[in-house]
Structure 1
Amino acid sequence: MTHAEPSRPLDLAGIGIGPANLSLAALAHPLPGLATAWYERRPGFHWHPGLLIEGTTLQVPFLADLVTLVDPTSDYSFLNYLRHQQRLFPFYFAERFHSPRAEYDAYCRWVSERLPGLHFHHHVEAIRWNAEHAVFDIDFTRLDEDGEATGVGRAHARNLVLGIGTEPHIPEALRPLTETATAPVVHSADYLDHRERLLAADHITVIGSGQSGAEIFLDLLRARPVGAERLAWLTRSPAFAPMEYSKLGLEHFTPDYTRYFHALAEPVRDELLAKQWQLYKAIDHGTLAAIHDELYRRSLGGAWPDAVLTPGVTVRTAGRMGTHQFELHLDHAEQGGRSRLNTGALVLATGYRERPLDPLLTALDPVIRRDESGRPRVDAHYRLDLAPAVSGTVYVQNAERHTHGIGAPDLGLVAHRSATILNSLTGEERYPLPERTAFTTFGLRPTGARAVVEQRFVTEEVGHITSR
């Protein structure tokens, strides 16, 4: 059930409809007696439309869809999507383990169009706890096709889930360049919308060495004339480093590791996150190989391509030089030197930050318990730690990296997190979850179900030895 009766509050209201809440909506839909609704200010589902560059693929296997790793029989699986598109045999013969990004976007949009209870063009303005009726009051504005307000409304829910996602991050030194539009300064999130304008510039600089930066640099490189590429690629990272993609390394994106990470002390978690950048901020091996192959191809005539790739560089300050030029003041960490770079266009592949929850939860601020750094505490079931005066629950999705680790934004854990939330919400094991998901034992004191299993193993072994 997805629509609540007017006199009955929702069991769960979702704010934001990205992959995380879309997964939760898909898994909640078949559960009987559960009243849900989902609100999103955008006109429809779109997943990073500015980065759907031709030929790019997901960095997770197709099994990491919205539902399969929890319920392979779901109507909302990727394979069922292919069946409805009459594309199962082509997919089978393509032997793809990683599907194209554009196909993942189309799949999610297909799911969103089949699920009831999804309210696009609804901008949630405020959330308050209504102690008298023991519900959350959700105030929203309805929007038209142009994003203009057409009316207001209010919903009531016993529980909330916030899946408001991330927003593009622009470093402080580069923000002044975005204030005028005489020359293109584009965050990678909007790359495709501005691609032709970027290519018209005499010189283009890409800043940032994650997967997006690499894909954009490769796309620009392929589009520029041989010998007149006029490209620069800069990053503060010490190298254009490959993503850790070994099978045991990938076990950092399992529920086992999430449980281990959550049980660590806050200072240890913060220190770990800073060290693990190569697990999730580096570049796919295939993309690095394609960049090198393209650069090598362009050197076959004997000349080096006009492309500068420099790691270990920080933009200290930046300014405009006339109408169509920028000047970047650069620091090199290892050399301790400084330099300048003039360029005609900038692509800021500088990543994303979690959207802050505070503006949406202003009225709840007094009851939200926080850690030593002022961040909301999130328990193992993705619930905000609230004062006892609030009997309702607020779940969060992709806003808990500081408590759950690098797997928080990973698509491979979306379905498992959704199932954990639904099991917690209903107080029943609606979706049975595996006790163990990794061969690696993280730490000397296993946590959760893994601890029970391994303690049983130790007890049995001790008993066996004693009987001998």
Structure 2
Amino acid sequence: MNQRRYDLIGIGIGPFHLGMAALTEEVGDIDALFLDEDEEFQWHPGMLLEGADLQVPFLADLVTFADPTNRFSFLNYLHQHNRLYQFYFFNRFDIPRREYNDYAQWVAHQLYSCQFARRVIDVIDHDNEDDPFYEVVTEHPKTKVQTVYYAKHVSLGTGSKPAVPEGLRHLPENDVIHSSRFLDSKETILNSGHAVVLGSGQSAAELFLELLQNQRYTQPHISWLTRSSGFFQLEAGKIGLEFFSPDFVDYFYQLPYEKRMDEIPLLTRLRNGVEEQTLHKIYDLLYHRSVENGEPNVTIQGHTEALKAEKLENGRYRLHCREWQEEETFSTDADKIILSTGYKPHIPDWFTKFADKIEWEDDANYKVTRDYQLVFKTARPHRFFTLTDLLHSHGIGATNLALSVQRNVTIINTIAGRTVYPEQRNTVFQQFGVKNKPE
């Protein structure tokens, strides 16, 4: 073949693959390419609220946990933008989400290996060749011009897509708005009579606070409903945070599949919940409003599941709910429904052709090696890595920004066949599992 064959093609450019691109930029013997259908890098643009911060420290940037001297570090971004002194006086470990997005765009603009407006429409597995490879077919989203690339290895990093409750999927998106599109609809929501926020995590709390802060003469009425038991604080204890470490990933991965699935719900407070500061802001604002206006124009209720909604003749929506503790159903009429109902893995349609070639944990979850390769029924030298849908195999840190750097280190070292970046271990004070097991 005369066509250029990359060592690695990454499909999808979110923070995970962007970090991998930044790290491989410094490695001379890995020729990598990363493709994304969007025209530029954007990190949750609908949730880049003023005053909203990243939930991990700035050290969890794209490269620092692999190489603190890397030119794509967040500190170098600050230095290059003459913001280092301001950040020093800011005197905080966390950073604004808007700034993280700007930092990531700064990195993406410097990396020729990151190619945007390239939608991957097919990946062809040439596994019968003497020198097997993958053929990656892309299409420009606007012009529909197709381009073909070739790679020895591929990595799936298509991330996630909004999860919408089944009973709300048939409704128009301009009125039933997922949090990922909140900022585009903010003004129409504020001009409505009744806005309902569904969910109980950090995003839901931030959306409720944003609407509460922007109420005009106590309008609109804002309801905050969740099927969870209540609105609880995110676990932030330092010992608890050690679960987001390579050591815990090692421990979790070696557990039997059933044990892994049992463990995930037990660690919910480490993944879901609201930061203490956000809860305090909400309560303090409600208290001040109660002094001025009596009862604030809000409804806050847990134990409440949104079952379905229907559009009324007057253009509003009747939202049918169930209070599952009392086992009572009720309905409320709303103008806008905001879904902070999370995300689910985005697996491309072309991936289905690999379903019969790989091994599965069950009907829904594919098997993944410790170094993030799909497990094929027949061993192969051309590897298929995945950064998407790893909760069942690698635990609650699957979407953690800091651990994503360590994951990239593992993949880069595997492709290179040598230690390009050291893989950190013994990073925690507590012990996961029995160290000295009997023979």
* TM-score with structure 1 setting the length: 0.90
Residues 228 and 305 in structure 1, CA contact (< 8 A), matched pair in contact too: no
Residues 20 and 398 in structure 1, CA contact (< 8 A), matched pair in contact too: no
**Aligned partners of 1:426 and 1:405: how far apart in 2?**
26
Match of 2:138 in 1: 140
**Per-residue deviation, 1:400:** 0.8
Alignment of 1:336-415 (within 5 A): 336-357=327-348, 359-388=349-378, 390-415=380-405
Match of 2:68 in 1: 72
**Aligned partners of 1:227 and 1:149: how far apart in 2?**
47
Aligned-partner residue type, residue 403 of structure 1: S
Match of 1:177 in 2: 171
**Aligned partners of 1:338 and 1:139: how far apart in 2?**
50
Aligned-partner residue type, residue 23 of structure 1: G
Residue 408 of structure 1 aligns to a residue whose secondary structure is helix
Aligned-partner residue type, residue 397 of structure 1: L
From 255, 260, 283, the equivalent of 1:269 is 260
Match of 2:47 in 1: 51
Which stretch shifts more, 393-402 or 306-315?
393-402
**Per-residue deviation, 1:366:** 2.3
**Aligned partners of 1:16 and 1:281: how far apart in 2?**
25
**Per-residue deviation, 1:417:** 0.7
**Aligned partners of 1:304 and 1:49: how far apart in 2?**
33
Q: Does 2:30 correspond to 1:34?
A: yes
Residue 298 of structure 1 aligns to a residue whose secondary structure is helix
Deviation beyond 6 Å, 4+ runs, structure 1: none
From 82, 85, 104, the equivalent of 1:86 is 82
Question: Gapped runs of 5+ residues in structure 1?
Answer: 447-453, 459-468
**Aligned partners of 1:309 and 1:439: how far apart in 2?**
39
Match of 1:248 in 2: 239
CA RMSD of aligned residues (A): 1.8
Residues 190 and 220 in structure 2, CA contact (< 8 A), matched pair in contact too: no
**Per-residue deviation, 1:227:** 4.2
Residues 136 and 159 in structure 1, CA contact (< 8 A), matched pair in contact too: yes
**Aligned partners of 2:291 and 2:208: how far apart in 1?**
20
Which stretch shifts more, 332-341 or 223-232?
223-232
Match of 1:435 in 2: 425
**Aligned partners of 1:246 and 1:317: how far apart in 2?**
37
Match of 1:313 in 2: 304
Match of 1:282 in 2: 273
Aligned-partner residue type, residue 433 of structure 1: E
**Per-residue deviation, 1:389:** 5.5
Q: Does 2:219 correspond to 1:223?
A: no
**Per-residue deviation, 1:433:** 1.8
Paired residues in the alignment total 437
Residue 360 of structure 1 aligns to a residue whose secondary structure is helix
**Per-residue deviation, 1:110:** 0.3
Match of 2:101 in 1: 105
Match of 1:451 in 2: none
Match of 1:418 in 2: 408
**Aligned partners of 1:302 and 1:83: how far apart in 2?**
47
Residue 66 of structure 1 aligns to a residue whose secondary structure is coil
Match of 2:162 in 1: 168
Residue 103 of structure 2 aligns to a residue whose secondary structure is helix
Q: Per-residue displacement from partner, 1:214-240 (whole Å, max 9, x unpaired)?
A: 001000001113544511000011110
From 5, 12, 23, the equivalent of 1:9 is 5
The 1:6/1:33 distance shift into structure 2, 3 A limit, reads farther
Match of 2:153 in 1: 159
Q: Per-residue displacement from partner, 1:58-87 (whole Å, max 9, x unpaired)?
A: 000000000001110001000000010011
Q: Per-residue displacement from partner, 1:167-213 (whole Å, max 9, x unpaired)?
A: 0010101112237x5xx211000000010111111111101111111
Which stretch shifts more, 199-208 or 383-392?
383-392
Q: Does 2:199 correspond to 1:208?
A: yes
Aligned-partner residue type, residue 426 of structure 2: R
**Per-residue deviation, 1:245:** 0.6
Q: Does 2:282 correspond to 1:291?
A: yes
**Aligned partners of 1:154 and 1:124: how far apart in 2?**
9
**Per-residue deviation, 1:316:** 1.9
Percent identity at matched positions? 34
Residue 416 of structure 1 aligns to a residue whose secondary structure is helix
**Aligned partners of 1:438 and 1:323: how far apart in 2?**
58
Question: Gapped runs of 5+ residues in structure 2?
Answer: none
Q: Per-residue displacement from partner, 1:255-280 (whole Å, max 9, x unpaired)?
A: 11111111111111112222322211
Q: Per-residue displacement from partner, 1:40-61 (whole Å, max 9, x unpaired)?
A: 0100100000000000000000
**Aligned partners of 2:217 and 2:433: how far apart in 1?**
52
**Aligned partners of 2:311 and 2:4: how far apart in 1?**
57
Residues 127 and 363 in structure 1, CA contact (< 8 A), matched pair in contact too: no
**Per-residue deviation, 1:121:** 0.5
Residue 21 of structure 1 aligns to a residue whose secondary structure is helix
**Aligned partners of 2:21 and 2:70: how far apart in 1?**
12
**Aligned partners of 2:334 and 2:392: how far apart in 1?**
37
Which stretch shifts more, 249-258 or 271-280?
271-280
Residues 226 and 305 in structure 1, CA contact (< 8 A), matched pair in contact too: no
**Aligned partners of 1:305 and 1:374: how far apart in 2?**
45
Which stretch shifts more, 225-234 or 13-22?
225-234
Aligned-partner residue type, residue 401 of structure 2: L
**Aligned partners of 1:395 and 1:55: how far apart in 2?**
36
Q: Does 2:254 correspond to 1:258?
A: no
Residues 229 and 305 in structure 1, CA contact (< 8 A), matched pair in contact too: no
Residues 193 and 220 in structure 2, CA contact (< 8 A), matched pair in contact too: no
**Aligned partners of 2:218 and 2:86: how far apart in 1?**
39
**Aligned partners of 1:390 and 1:8: how far apart in 2?**
21
Residue 316 of structure 1 aligns to a residue whose secondary structure is strand
The 1:226/1:197 distance shift into structure 2, 3 A limit, reads closer
Q: Per-residue displacement from partner, 1:370-417 (whole Å, max 9, x unpaired)?
A: 112342101110111013253210111132111001100111211111
**Aligned partners of 2:33 and 2:218: how far apart in 1?**
55
Q: Per-residue displacement from partner, 1:287-326 (whole Å, max 9, x unpaired)?
A: 1110001101101136110101001100122211224311
Aligned-partner residue type, residue 166 of structure 2: E
Residue 419 of structure 1 aligns to a residue whose secondary structure is helix
Residues 129 and 390 in structure 1, CA contact (< 8 A), matched pair in contact too: no
* TM-score with structure 2 setting the length: 0.96
